[in-house]
Amino acid sequence: MTYILTVEEGKLSAGSELNKARLQEELSQNEGKRYKLTKEQTKRSINQNSFYWLYLGIIERETGNSSNDLHEYFKRELLPPKFIKLKGKEHKVTRSTTELNKVEFGEYMEKICAECSVPIPDPQDAGFISN
């Protein structure tokens, strides 16, 4: 069972009373068991994705390569691959940018900048961040 907990005023909260009761029941039935608490990573935002495609458009104008081709190239070259098993055999596949969290996505864009030497535009000047 998965429980989504949030930190409120320095304490863990299960949200509703029903979720709190379910969590309490789970814990009471599993006395002495260990649980692993991990911080949820926020996926890249729609705003970040839009900014990314704006940036690819700038690179497209600079290089003459299409944004879609650039997207495929950068994914293959700059993201670590993931491995899947199919019919008992392991296969390497290209990772998707949708799997990146916000920090990883920012680092990915920095790698693109280093790769192609086209500066990343200022998000505020491009209308993606307001004062």
* 11-49: pLDDT as tens digits: 888 878 888 888 888 889 999 988 887 776 677 778 888
Per-residue H/E/C for 47-98: HHHHHHHHHHHHHHHHHCCCHHHHHHHHHHHHCCCEEEEECCEEEEECCCHH
* The pLDDT of residue 78: 96
pLDDT tens track for 46-85: 888 899 999 999 999 999 999 999 999 999 999 999 899 9
Q: For 76, phi and psi rounded to 5 degrees?
A: -70, -35
For the whole model, what pTM was predicted?
0.65
